[in-house]
Amino acid sequence: MANIVVCYKWVLDEQDIKVNPGNLALDTSRAKSKISDYDRNAIEEAVLLNEKDGHKVTGLTFGVAGAKQSLKDALSRGPAEAVWVNDPVAAEADAFVTANVLAGALKKVGNYDVIICGEGAADTYAQQVGPRLAAVLGIPAITFVNQMSIEGDKVVATRKLGDCTETVTASFPVVVTVLPEINKPRIPSLKQVLGASKKPVTEIKLADLGLNPDDLKRKTTVKSLKGYAMTRKNVIYKDGSTAEKVAKLVAELAKEGAL
Amino acid sequence: MAGIWVYSEDVALVKQLLTIGREVAGTLNKPVAALTLSEADAADLAAETVYVLKGQNPWPESYVQAIADLAAKEAPDVIFVGATPRGKDLAAKLASILKAGLVTEAFKVSVENGAIETERMMYGGLAVCTEILQGLSLVTIPPRQYEPAAAGKGNVVTIDAATDVPVSVSNVCPIIREGADLASAEKVICVGRGLGKEDDLKIARDLAAAVGGEVGCTRSIAEDYHWLPAETYIGLSGVKVKPVLYLSMGVSGQVQHVAGIRDSKIIVGIDMNENALIFEAADYGIVGDLYDVVPALTEAIKQAK
Ligand SMILES: Cc1cc2nc3c(=O)[nH]c(=O)nc-3n(C[C@H](O)[C@H](O)[C@H](O)COP(=O)(O)OP(=O)(O)OC[C@H]3O[C@@H](n4cnc5c(N)ncnc54)[C@H](O)[C@@H]3O)c2cc1C
């Protein structure tokens, strides 16, 4: 039996974020939060491994006070317990800080054999936390994984790398980052949702991890964060018959030299 | 030797990175060094110094510690790494060992007031984040963002690299692609969930044949329906295309999909829903049922040619 820790991030749902067309400012005031999409694949994979061979699955997140809401959601997806590092630093954290904090939490919690992360977070999509975390812990990371299994005290995983696939085998402890194609996360049942509130949650304060202040300072300075300016012609043919609309489009495309 | 470093396991990408590397180095008045894993590739790289990392292991990821040791000794200002999957993996581990910042997939790198600035996408492509690099930093840069630099000649330095890693790699298989590479296609016809069934892909293939293009899809088509291989979905986590013409049918235009088509010259959307987001991202659009519009369009294009 392996101790599987699955890391997830509680992020704003980008579908609720509005861009002000004038100054391109982001309006997040009405945005709800969610477990980052690919982290749901990570949770599902941990739970599938448990269902197959019997392992212990723990969810781990580093988040601000609002991330408390994520715990029930995460636990309803199958992990036996959850650990939450609660600190406002999470709001400004980059992957350097997050990896340091998650490594600190893992050391404090103690037992970890397999750590599973999603390939990238839905907000930043920086694709760094998994491999950085492995480097901080001094253990191997297997990234871009679309298939994995646990065999004894080893992970055997298939990576998908643009032009090839390869199989990587590593002994515990090991970090694995998973691609969304690895599985299809289940929708928790009512019973699982109700059961989630009975599962144990450990809340850790950042100060208890004994990290150096430098480990908690992000590396780059954010100069601005603005909506992407769409500068397209937006000529939309709505009225008229299909033949008319098609004729207008073909004429324009011919003029553009796009045919 | 401080300066600008570029690295990729793919020499074609090293040459592209040298273009931006030289530009930044010129502005900051710094030297450029290229890192490569192959002696044969080192001869014509336009960098003052070319480090050839020579080790026993053919797995590119195993060179991370050797690169970190070299960087700790030579103290570059910035390392540009090609944003292939292997490059992103190595860059993240390297940044961690060096306790450095890392900007993933910058689409723009420039020098402002003596500091290097980067721009990258956030929230699935909805937003752009501009960052100022501080201290030793890494930036990963997507393939084909820059033209390759002209050939040059540098001082070649061979480094013996320890490449022991506690993993074993086997079964390395090329992914066989059907059809041409979408990323470099001139015309791309994209299908989304508006398509009712797999057989109807023919509608898209007929249009692709008429314009001389390739068929791509949204993630839903590849990963939920499995009608087309995962290598053909376009977007943030899929292929990024930059054709002369991108035309979609039954694609809603969610931001993560649009993030992969923004470099297209002309974007056309065909969708039943006049409020579909694709129309905000498009140059031209037709509101209508794709089953009416696309066959008519295919015919009209054949006539026009
Ligand atoms: C982190 C993350 C990364 C992602 N990465 C990607 C990515 O790389 N690529 C990607 O594609 N997606 C990605 N997605 C998913 C993305 O958000 C959307 O869910 C997906 O692109 C939607 O696919 P679609 O447009 O085919 O389907 P839908 O959103 O369901 O749209 C179908 C469209 O078809 C129209 N339609 C239906 N019938 C007809 C008809 N008869 N004629 C004309 N129109 C019709 C509808 O009006 C609708 O607009 C990602 C999501 C997340 C969270």
Portion of chain B with pLDDT greater than 70, in percent: 98
Which residues on chain B are in Cβ contact (under 8 Å) with A94?
101
Cα-Cα end-to-end distance for chain B: 58
pLDDT at A162: 83
Pairs across A and B, CB distance < 8 A: 238
Q: Which of B225, B236, B274 to mutate to test the pocket of ligand 1 (most atoms within 8 A of CB)?
A: B236
Q: Which atom of ligand 1 approaches the CA of B278 most closely?
A: 49
B158-195 confidence digits (pLDDT tens): 999 999 899 999 999 987 776 668 999 999 999 999 99
B82-127 confidence digits (pLDDT tens): 999 999 999 999 999 999 999 999 999 999 999 999 999 999 999 9
Å from CA of B192 to ligand 1 middle:
6
Portion of chain B with pLDDT greater than 90, in percent: 92
A100 touches chain B (CB under 8 A): no
Q: Is the peptide bond before A213 cis (omega within 30 degrees of 0)?
A: no
pLDDT at B121: 96
pLDDT at A91: 96
Spell out the domain ranges in chain A: 3-216, 229-259
B37-71 confidence digits (pLDDT tens): 999 999 899 999 999 999 999 999 999 999 999 99
> Mean pLDDT score of chain A, rounded to an integer?
96
pLDDT at A163: 84
Q: Which residues does chain A have with pLDDT short of 50?
A: none
pLDDT at B230 over 90: no
Domain A3-216 has CATH 3.40.50.620: yes
pLDDT at B1 over 80: no
Is the whole-model pTM more than 0.90?
yes
